[in-house]
Structure 1
Amino acid sequence: MGRIFEVRKATMFARYDRMAKQFSRIGKEIVIAVKKSGPDANTNPALRRIIQNAKSVNMPKDRIESAIKNALGKDTSNYEEVIYEGYGPHGIALMVVTATDNTTRTVANVRSHFNKGGGNLGNSGSVGFMFKHLGTFKLNPEGLNPEDLELELIDAGLEELGEDSEGNLIVRCGFTDFGNMQKALEERNIIPVSSEIQWIPENTVAISDEQAEDVLKLIARLEEDDDVQLVFHNMA
């Protein structure tokens, strides 16, 4: 009985840590979006996207509103998005998206994570050419006809339309077409489950399960860093 309790407690804390990380990431995104284009989600597409994502991970409404209000304060940190590139173990390319108020600290930490995880931090552009910078919208498929939707969204910059493992529709467009696609979906009263700017690999690299474990350990180390928002890779 004691063993079961310990497992449940560990699972609960892991879930809490994951939720806390998600809320922290969204909070920083809100600061960046508000400082760049204001606190009104109706005129700030980036903020509107972030609020949708916040709701998808059950971030409380009052916490979202508090983050927007705090972003307007003079004492709020000025975060900026900085992307680091490098190779993990076994030649796997990594794109590390950070939100930082101290680039000196962040680059030192990211370099340390790469070194300790058996990888190497590269220069800007060292692996970025292996990825496509895309906007990704996850949609509830209920009431949607994929074939019709594909035709309707071509003019908004649609590049890919498919499904994920959970049966959600996945709509992808070029980074510069993100606003157009967001508007096109809103005009059709389609509210995404979530939407993100992602780095999608042009090609993936197949490695063994044992090698993949090495890469995943480095990714986990990076994701635990407070400054790291997202990590993308080209591992199959």
Structure 2
Amino acid sequence: MASAARALGALVHKASSLSSSVSALRSAAVLHGRGSAGGSARLFQRHAARRRISTFQPLCMGRRSCKIAGRKDAQNLKKMKRNSKIGKEIVAAIKKGGPSPSSNTTLAAILEKARELDIPKEILERNIKRASEKGQDTYTEKVYEVYGFGGVGMVVEVLTDKITRSIADIRNVVKDCGAKLADPGSVTFRFRQARVVNIKIVTTSENYPVVLSKLQEEGLKFETDNGYELLPLNPIEVDDEAMELNKVLVSKLLELDDVDAVYTDQR
């Protein structure tokens, strides 16, 4: 009985406190010339709104989800860069050998590669048309070398119709990130050129047709490679700080339209 009485007393006290708070708010409304019931209600609502807590849904639910999202972003960027490079190669091939695949073997090979990579038809048609537009220059391949962080070297592959623009953009990104452009040949010797398919078979250009034929004979499905890639001869271990700085540098370089690929020897 005693405990029930105490509980009832606490409930009455709480109700009394709430009533006092409401009365105080109404009194304040009267003092400010808002003595009507509607004015009191609005003032009470504003007071209650101040205590509202806002929440938001996190972008990534856990480390695993964040990693998956990061991989998807990287895959989408790689696909976008691949499509862009194919488009620029089409323009360069047409500028050099004409728009007919039957007489332009370079263009025919590019279109065949685009078909194997399942490049959207509208991308091919748009760049074929762009090649004949007045004022459209041809594209030139360039390679720039960069000293990253923690002893890491980077090779930046470019296909550009404005060389002065590409070097200026790359120089600005490298400088802003605190890295340094390297002299030609200072970094490329750390890599070997290879062709890679997505089942992790690495081979030389000479053996590539044989490998593809063997895989097809075995009935293995795989995605055609994007062409040559640069693989580091001796991957370098770096600390977390250098790894993050290199990640930012690579990301900013890949944002440049002229840049098609960035290779590093970071493990």
Pick closer, same or farther for the CA change 1:98–1:15 going to 2, 3 Å: closer
* Alignment partner, residue 237 of structure 2: 206
Q: CA deviation at 1:24?
A: 2.7
Read off the aligned partner of 2:223 and give its amino acid letter: V
Task: Give unpaired runs (5+ residues) of structure 2.
Answer: 1-53, 61-68
The answer as to 2:109 corresponding to 1:49 is no
TM-score when normalising by structure 2:
0.60
* Alignment partner, residue 88 of structure 1: 148
Q: Of the two structures, which has the highest relative contact order with CA contacts closer than 8 Å and spacing of 6 or more? A: 1
* Alignment partner, residue 115 of structure 1: 175
Q: Which has the higher strand share?
A: 1
Pick closer, same or farther for the CA change 1:2–1:101 going to 2, 3 Å: farther
Q: Distance in 2 between matches of 1:61 and 1:108?
A: 33
Task: Give unpaired runs (5+ residues) of structure 1.
Answer: 140-167
Q: CA deviation at 1:233?
A: 0.3
The answer as to 2:97 corresponding to 1:66 is no
* Alignment partner, residue 197 of structure 2: 138
Pick closer, same or farther for the CA change 1:5–1:221 going to 2, 3 Å: same
Q: Runs (4+) of structure 1 moved beyond 6 Å?
A: 14-17
Q: CA deviation at 1:26?
A: 3.0
Pick closer, same or farther for the CA change 1:16–1:197 going to 2, 3 Å: closer
Size of the alignment, in residue pairs?
A: 195
What is the root-mean-square deviation of aligned Cα atoms in Å? 3.6
Identity %: 30
Pick closer, same or farther for the CA change 1:171–1:23 going to 2, 3 Å: same
Q: Distance in 2 between matches of 1:192 and 1:29?
A: 24
Pick closer, same or farther for the CA change 1:17–1:198 going to 2, 3 Å: closer
Read off the aligned partner of 1:138 and give its amino acid letter: V
Contact residue 33 and residue 47 of structure 1 kept, 8 A: no
Q: CA deviation at 1:116?
A: 1.5
Q: CA deviation at 1:125?
A: 0.7
Q: CA deviation at 1:83?
A: 0.4
Structure number with larger C-alpha Rg: 2
Q: CA deviation at 1:15?
A: 8.7
The answer as to 2:264 corresponding to 1:233 is yes
Instruction: Give a deviation string over 1:177-235, Cα, whole Å, max 9, x none.
Output: 4xx73487369868861322111111110011222011111000100111111000000
Q: Distance in 1 between matches of 2:74 and 2:146?
A: 29
TM-score when normalising by structure 1:
0.67
